[in-house]
A = this chain, B = another copy of it.
């Protein structure tokens, strides 16, 4: 595992941080590609071996990040949706593989409500395909969707709920939606990360839980998230750097600050989080609906 305690769920931010701290320009086992569009940028981080995985404390796999410049005033939302759809189709091997969409998070706390908002927008087909023959075309993909809630409200590990429901639904793919943490304030509500690795809910806001992956669900897991919060310790440390001009020991001090702060219990989020979550959840559910 990496020596760094990362304060972000975004693979590309972790790569940047690792390079700065270790004064490297490349990491063995990590390939990066960037593609620019008019209003957004796509960064593809490929973690290809254990060295890369260990460096950024992420599993071997693909991490694609969409970064929108001005998400609230984007003109061509369709282009983002289409590109996101293309990446989803790259990760799903067939036009007919069944999918279960899982919306993580606490729907009653605005910045943690991404998952449930996306699920609300999904056009499910499974019950129609099972119960009423002939209504939908035979090539319609089987799609189901659940919101398991958070452990603080259910008393049950979220991963256990997902694993037990996936046993009866038997989807080939699970697309897990979650609110993430970024270290950059300007990326909150403005980035989307897709990856073909599992997820451990609670990296973001949700709380401690065990892993959702191929082993626990018997399905291939695609994770799709938007940073909705930033880490308090990052903000603290950045503020300090600005007033003290002492950047050398920044990482060390970060660890100290993080240790004194009860960061696990707090959320730091922009005031316009309600608008950001509406826009990004709409983009995600539309792009998933496009592949049905």
Contacts and interface: CB of A to CB of B under 8 A. Distances in A.
Contacts of A145: 153-155
Interface in A57-100: none
Interface residues of A, number: 66
Given A145-B153, A270-B267, A253 B260 contact: no
Contact of A271 (B146, B147, B267): B267
Interface in A194-242: 205, 207, 232-233, 235-236, 238-240, 242
A123 to B, nearest CB: 8
Interface string A10-43: 0000000000000000000000000000000000
Interface string A270-284: 111110001000000
A265 B185 CA distance: 10
Contact of A273 (B109, B207, B271): B109
A291 interface: no
Contacts of A1: none
What are the nearest 10 A-B pairs in CB distance? A126-B155, A124-B155, A144-B155, A108-B274, A236-B236, A164-B164, A242-B260, A110-B110, A127-B155, A243-B256
Given A238-B260, A269-B269, 8 more contacts: A106-B274, A145-B154, A146-B156, A146-B161, A147-B147, A232-B232, A265-B272, A267-B271
23 contacts: A108-B120, A109-B110, A112-B271, A119-B153, A120-B153, A121-B278, A125-B155, A126-B155, A126-B156, A127-B154, A127-B155, A142-B155, A144-B156, A145-B153, A145-B154, A164-B165, A164-B167, A185-B266, A205-B271, A235-B261, A235-B266, A242-B260, A267-B268
Interface of A: 106, 108-110, 112, 119-121, 124-128, 142-149, 151-157, 160-161, 163-165, 167-169, 185, 205, 207, 232-233, 235-236, 238-240, 242-243, 253, 256-257, 260-262, 264-274, 278
